[in-house]
Amino acid sequence: MNLAAIERNCARLRAELRPGASLCAVVKADGYGHGAVQSARAAQAGGAIWLAVATAAEAAELRFAGIAGCLLVLGALTPGELDVALGADADVIAWSEEFVAAVADRAGEAGARVHVKLDTGMGRLGTRDPAEADRVAAAVLAAPRLELAGAMTHFATADELGDGFFPGQLERFRLWALALKAEHPGLALHAANSAALLRDEAAHFDLARAGVAIYGLDPFQRDAGERGLEPALELRSWVAALKHCEVGESAGYGRRFIAQRPTTLGVLPLGYGDGVRRALANNADVLVGGQRRALVGAVSMDNVTVDLGDPRPDNAGLGAEAVLVGAQGSERITVEELAKRLGTINYEITCGLSARVPRAHHRDGEPVADERARAAAGGRTGS
Exposure string for 160-177, b = 16+ CB within 10 A, e = fewer: eeeeeebeebbebbbebb
Strands of 92-94's sheet in order across: 70-73, 50-53, 22-26, 207-210, 188-192, 146-152, 112-117, 92-94
Active site residue 253: yes
| Calpha distance 191→118 (Å, rounded) | 10
Choice among 32, 117, 243, 253 that is catalytic:
253
Residue 204 CA, chain-centre distance (Å), reads: 20
Check if the beta carbon of residue 351 is closer than 8 Å to that of residue 32: yes
| Calpha distance 218→242 (Å, rounded) | 36
In terms of Cα–Cα distance, which of 321, 241, 242, 330 is closest to 286?
321
219: burial class by Cβ within 10 Å (0-12, 13-18, 19+)? buried
Backbone angles phi, psi at 200, to 5 degrees: -150, 115
| Calpha distance 116→253 (Å, rounded) | 51
Check if the beta carbon of residue 49 is closer than 8 Å to that of residue 22: yes
Could you give the 3-state DSSP secondary structure of residue 110?
coil
Choice among 28, 32, 215, 272 that is catalytic:
28
The set of catalytic residues is: 28, 253
